[in-house]
Amino acid sequence: MGRSPRPSSKLPSAVHYEQADYGDVEKLKTFLAGAEEVIDLAYATAPQTSYADPVFDLVSNVPPSVRLLQEAVAASVHRVVLVSSGGTVYGVARQLPIREDHPTQPISPYGITKLAIENYGRMFTSLFNLPVIIVRPANAYGEGQRRLSGQGFIAAAMERIKHRQEVEIYGEQGTVRDYIHVDDVASGILAALQRGEPGSAYNIGTGRGLSNLEILRAIEPLASKLRLPIHTRYSPARKFDVPDNYLDCTLLQSVSGWHAQIPLEEGVERLWHAVLTQN
C-alpha cells in the first residue's frame, strides 16, 4: 500500500508517530506489543475509486484488516474499534434516518469490503473474545481534508469555487448526505471506544440530510464576500450513488451521551478559511 503523508499539524508531545505499510506484519506486531486499545482507520481506497478496480479494493483492505484482528488477539489487546462506513454499508435506504438495524445491502465495492471487515470483527469477538466495536461514520469533512481525492463533496466544491471552476452535480439536487465535522467524528469514535458494547455497531452522524445544492447554498455567503461565483454543471444521476443517506445516532447517544456538537454553518466556515489559506 502507498504511504500516507505525515500529519500537517503538530502532534501533542505524548504522541509518537510511525509511518509504515499496513500489510507489514512484523511492524504490526511491534506496534501492538503492549497496546491496550486500537482504533483502525486504515483503508487503501475510497468509495469512488473502488468501482474502478473492485479486486484491488478487496485484496488491499480485507486481508490486512483480518491480520490486524489476528495480531490483536495474540497481543491481548483490550478493545478494538473498526471504523466502517455509515455512508455505504446500508445501500439504498428503506427508511430515514437510518438506524444500525437497517438492512445492509451495499451497492459499492467499498461498502461490501467494509461490511466484510465488520463481520470478521464480530467473528473475532464471538470466537476469540476480542472486544471489537464497530463505528459507522457519516460523511466527514473538515480542515486538512484532501480536496481532490475523490472523497468529500464539501472540500472538493470549495476547491473548485476557489479557482472559479464548475462544481458538478449529479441529478437535479445531487445526493443527500449526512455531513459531520471531523472533530465530532473523533469524539464519537472515542465515545464508542470507551462505552460501546463489543460486537455492536454505532452510527456517528448528525441525523440531518443535506443535498449537494443545499451545501452550495451554505458556502455561497462565504464565497460572495470574495466575489467568487458558484458555477454548477448538471450531469445525469449515477447508478452507484445512493440517493439519500443520513443516520440515526441515538444508539451511541444512549450508551455514552455523545452527540454531534459542531453546526454545519460553523464547520463550513472553518473549512472555507482553511481552503483559502492552503495551496
* Residues taking part in catalysis: 110
Distance CA 48, CA 240 (A): 9
Cα separation, 6 vs 192, whole angstroms? 26
CA distance readout (Å), 29 to 172, 223, 272: 50, 48, 40
| Residue 29 dihedral angles phi and psi, to the nearest 5° | -60, -40
Distance between CA 195 and CA 189 in Å, rounded?
10
Going by DSSP bridges, is the β-strand pair 201-204/132-137 parallel, antiparallel, or unpaired?
Answer: parallel
Query: CB–CB of 110/46 below 8 Å?
Result: yes
Element (H, E) at 80: strand 79-83
Q: Which grid cell is 274?
A: 482553511
Sign, CA dihedral 34-38-40-42, equals: negative
Q: Are the C-beta atoms of 236 and 174 separated by less than 8 Å?
A: no
Helix H or strand E encompassing 175: none
Q: 111, 100, 98: which is closest to 48 by C-alpha?
A: 111
Cell of 279: 495551496
Q: Would you say 37 and 78 are in contact if contact means Cβ atoms under 8 Å apart?
A: yes
203-229 core/surface letters (b: 16 or more CB in 10 A; e: else): bbbbbbbbbbbbbbebbeebbeeeebe
Cis peptide before 229 (omega within 30 of 0): no
